[in-house]
Chains A and B, each alone.
Chain A
Amino acid sequence: MLYINCPHCGMRSQNEFSYGGDASVKRPELNKEVSDQEWDNFVYNRKSLRGKHLELWQHISGCRQWIKVERDTATHEIFRTFKADEEVA
C-alpha cells in the first residue's frame, strides 16, 4: 500500500487516488505552429524512467484535486508531493 501525502488533505492511502501519468509532459503551446514530432512527444512518447519520477495523481475519493508526486519507480518511495500548479525545482 502506498501512502500519499495530499498537499490539501494530508496523508492518505493509495486507494483514494487515481493515477494520471508523467507530470513532466508539457502540452504544446496553442498559438504556435506545432510539428508532428512535438505532438508525438506530447501524446505518445514517454521517458518512463527507473528511479525518481514526477507524476500526476488525482485525489479522486478525497478533495478531487490533481496533485504532483515525486516517487521512485523502483522502490516506490515517495519523496515529495506538490499542488498541481506548484513549480517543481
Chain B
Amino acid sequence: MQKYSIFNLVKNAFLNHENWDLAWKDPTPKEEYDVVIIGGGGHGLATAYYLAKEHNITNVAIIEKGWIGGGNVGRNTTIIRSNYMHDENGLFSEFGMDLWRKMSQDLNYNVMFSPRGIINLAHSDAQMNAYARRGNSMRLNGIDAVLLNREQVKEIIPMADFSENVRFPIFGGLMQPSAGTARHDAVAWGYARQADSMGVDIIQNCEVIGFDVSAGKINGIRTSRGNIKAKKVGICVAGSTNILAEKLNMTLPIETHLLQACVSEPVKPVLDNVVTFGAGHFYVSQSDKGEMVMGGDLDGYNSYAQRGNLPTLQHVLTEGIAMMPFLSKLKMLRTWGGIMDMSMDGSPIIDKTHIDGLYLNCGWCYGGFKATPASGWTFAHTIAQDRVHELNAGYSLNRFNTGHLIDEKGLGTKTWIS
C-alpha cells in the first residue's frame, strides 16, 4: 500500500496527482470467507481492520448494501467523549479514547482528531450535584473530569446566555477536557483503506437478503450478488438491525428511530468546545470550516426515513437559542437525518447470539460514532475468540432478561421519549 506522507504528496503534486493508488479495491465476492461482516459503516470497517490487525484473520468480507460510510458514520455530529458514569460505558469509551488518540498514526490517515473538550451545562443545584457524582465516577475510572462553576463556564463560553432572568440559568458544568471531535468520513475511509490493504474484501452495492442457518449454526448469507459461505458472520448495521433480525426470526430490544442534525452557514471561530444544554437535548460544536454543528432529540416515532421532520428541528433549535442566543442570527445551511438503533436501556449490544457463529453489534442510540474504534476492537475480539472481551461483557444481549441493564440516562425502556 502506498504510504500517505508529505513526501508522497509533494512527489504526486509534480505528477498532477494522477498516479495515486485507489484507496480500496472493488472485488467480486468470493465463494467463501472465514468471517463476513454485514455493514460497511464505521463499526463494520473497524471490525474488519481489527480482525486483520489484532487476530490475523484476513479472509474477511465486508458486505455493504449501499456504499461504505454512507450511513450514520457519514451523518453524525462527530463528537468523541467518554463522560459516562457507569463502569461498563466509562471503561469501554475510555479504551476507545486511547484508540482515537493514536488513530491518525495507526491508520496512516489524518482523521483530524481534535480533543477540544466537552462541557455539559447544569441549570440547577440538583444538576450540579448529579454532575459532581458523575465526574467523580469518571475520575475513579481514570477519565478526566472537571466540575466548573458559573464563572469558570463564562470564561470558556462567554457567548452563552448568562443573563439573570432566563428560564434555565447556567449554574456551572461538567467538562471532559480530553473529549473532542474528528473528521467522520476520514475514519471510515482510513479503516477501509487499511483493511483493504491487509486483504479484506470490501463489497459494496450488495444487499443481504437472507441467512443460511442449519442446526443452530450459521453457514453463510444470501445476497443480491449471490450466496456467500462463511464460518462466522457479524452484523453491525445500526438502524437496519431489525430488518436483518426479522430474517433470522429474532426479535431484539431495539427500535429504529430517526435522529436529525444540522449545520449553520460558516462563521469565524467562536466556539472551541463541544457544549451541551442541560435542560433539554441540544449540543453544538464548530467545525473546521466554521459551520455550527447542532443536534438534539430524536423525531420521536419509529422511522426508517433517513430524513427529518421540521417540528423536531424547531424544538431542538429553540433549546439552542435559549442556550446561545447568537445562534438565532445564523442561517441554516444543511439538515440531515439518520436512523438509529435505539436499545431499550440506551446502551449498546456487542455479543454472541443463540446461533453459532453469528455475532451482533447494535443498539448504539445517539453515540455510535465515538464508539467506532472500541466497538470494532471488541467486536473483532468477540468474533475471533468466540467469546466476549471484558470490555464488552456488560453489553450482553441477555441483560434484558437477567435485569443487568446499563441505564445510563435513567430513561427506562423508552429511550425514544424526548
Contacts and interface: CB of A to CB of B under 8 A. Distances in A.
Nearest to B246: A47
B325 interface: no
Contact of A40 (B310, B400, B414): B400
A13 B303 CA distance: 18
A79 to B, nearest CB: 15
Contacts of A13: 311
B347 to A, nearest CB: 13
A19 B416 contact: yes
A34 interface: no
A48 interface: yes
A19 B300 contact: yes
B401 A40 contact: yes
A44 B302 contact: no
A21 B414 contact: yes
Contact of B246 (A19, A41, A49): A49
Contacts of B194: none
Contacts of B29: none
Contacts of A36: 401
Given A44-B413, A50-B242, A73 B302 contact: yes
B255 interface: yes
Nearest to B310: A1
Nearest to A74: B304
Contact of A46 (B243, B251, B300, B304): B251
B301 interface: yes
Contacts of A74: 303-305
Interface residues of A, number: 28
Given A36-B401, A43-B413, A1 B309 contact: yes
B90 to A, nearest CB: 24
A2 interface: yes
Q: How large is the interface on B (under 10, 10 to 19, 20 to 34, 35 or more residues)?
A: 20 to 34
B242 to A, nearest CB: 4
A53 interface: yes
Interface in A20-70: 21-22, 36-37, 40-41, 43-50, 53, 55
Contacts of B401: 36-37, 40
A38 to B, nearest CB: 11
B242 A47 contact: yes
Nearest to A41: B251
Contacts of A49: 242, 246
B256 interface: yes
B304 A50 contact: yes
Residue of B256, B304, B414 most packed against chain A (CB within 10 A): B304
B344 interface: yes
A55 B305 contact: no
A5 interface: no
B254 interface: yes
B311 A15 contact: yes
Nearest to A53: B302
Residue of A41, A43, A50, A75 most packed against chain B (CB within 10 A): A50
B253 interface: yes
B307 to A, nearest CB: 9
Contacts of A75: 305
B252 interface: yes
A45 B252 CA distance: 5
A43 B401 CA distance: 10
Interface of A: 1-2, 13-15, 18-19, 21-22, 36-37, 40-41, 43-50, 53, 55, 71, 73-76
Report the 5 A-B pairs with minimum CB-CB distance, sorted nearest first: A44-B253, A45-B251, A48-B242, A48-B255, A19-B301
